[in-house]
Amino acid sequence: MIRDIVIAAIAVSAYVLLVLARPVGRCHRCWGKRVRRPKKGSKARPRKCRTCGASGLSCLPGATLIHRLFWLIFGDFILGRRKAKVAERQAARREAS
């Protein structure tokens, strides 16, 4: 039972890391070709994909939630580090001039 929980935790963490690294993938409806082709034998014209808006990309399941949680947790920390680096650069410029 514990082994199943550990395997599930590893799988979830791997998916979260995958989504953080690459949040978009090919559209599942047009397979990244941006247009929906009619079935063979049909005289209908190809139309732009409504699912991806003719971009060929769509978000992976849970990507929006994972990114919002990531920035909620780490956003202030990252922003603080950036502000500290800017302050250091400005102080170094003042001392140099």
What percentage of the chain exceeds 70 in pLDDT? 88
Q: Distance between terminal CA atoms of the chain?
A: 66
Phi, then psi, of 32 in degrees rounded to 5:
80, 5
Q: Is 9 exposed, middle or buried (0-12, 13-18, 19+ CB in 10 A)?
A: exposed
| Residue the block writes with tokens 């599942």 | 28
DSSP-assigned letter for residue 38: P
* pTM, rounded to two decimals: 0.55
For residue 7, what are the domain limits?
2-96
pLDDT band at 48 (very low <50, low <70, confident <90, very high): confident
Asked whether residue 7 carries a pLDDT value surpassing 90, the answer given is yes
The average confidence (pLDDT) of the chain is: 82
SS3 content of the chain, % helix, strand, coil (to 5): 55, 10, 35
Number of domains composing the chain: 1
Choice between 51 and 65, residue whose per-residue pLDDT is larger: 65
Q: For residues 46-64, give the mean pLDDT.
A: 78
